[in-house]
Structure 1
Amino acid sequence: MAQPPTAPVKLKLITTITHKGQKPEKIELWSTGTIMRKRDQVYLQYEEILEDKKMKTTLRFGENDAIIMRNGDIKMRLPFTLHAFQRGHYEAAFGTMPIMTLTKKMAFDEAEDGSNSGRFFVHYELLAGDESVGDYVLELTYTEGTE
Structure 2
Amino acid sequence: MTQLPTAPIKLKLITTITQPDEKPEVIELWSTGTIMRKRDQVYIQYEEVLEEHKMKTTLRFGHTDAIIMRNGDIKMRLPFVLDALQRGHYEAAFGTIPLLTHTKKMTFKEAADGSNNGEFFIQYDMIIDDKIVGDYQLEFTYSEGI
Partner secondary structure for residue 116 of structure 1: coil
Q: Post-superposition shift, 1:101?
A: 0.2
Runs of 4 or more above 6 Å deviation = none
Matches within 5 A, 1:1-147: 1-146=1-146
Q: CA deviation at 1:57?
A: 0.1
Which string of whole-angstrom CA distances, capped at 9 and with x for unpartnered residues, describes residues 83-118 of structure 1?
Answer: 000000000001111010000000000000110010
Per-residue CA deviation, residues 57-82 of structure 1 (Å, 9 max, x unaligned), is 00000010000000000000000000
Taking structure 2 as the reference length, the TM-score comes to: 0.99
For residues 95 and 21 of structure 1, what CA distance do their matches in structure 2 show?
27
Question: Which residues of structure 1 form unaligned runs of 5+?
Answer: none
Partner amino acid, structure 2, of 1:96: T
- Tell me the TM-score normalised to structure 1 length: 0.98
What is the Cα deviation at residue 29 of structure 1? 0.1
Tell me the matched-pair count: 146
AA at the equivalent of 1:16 = T
In structure 2, give the amino acid aligned to 1:25.
E
CA distance in 2, matches of 1:90, 1:22: 22
Report the Cα offset of residue 21 of structure 1. Answer: 1.0
- Cα deviation digits, residues 30-51 of structure 1 (max 9, x gap): 0000000011100000000000
- The 2-side partners of 1:63 and 1:132 are apart by 25
Root-mean-square deviation (Å): 0.5
Structure 2: which 5+ runs fail to align?
none
Structure 1 position 129, deviation (Å): 1.3
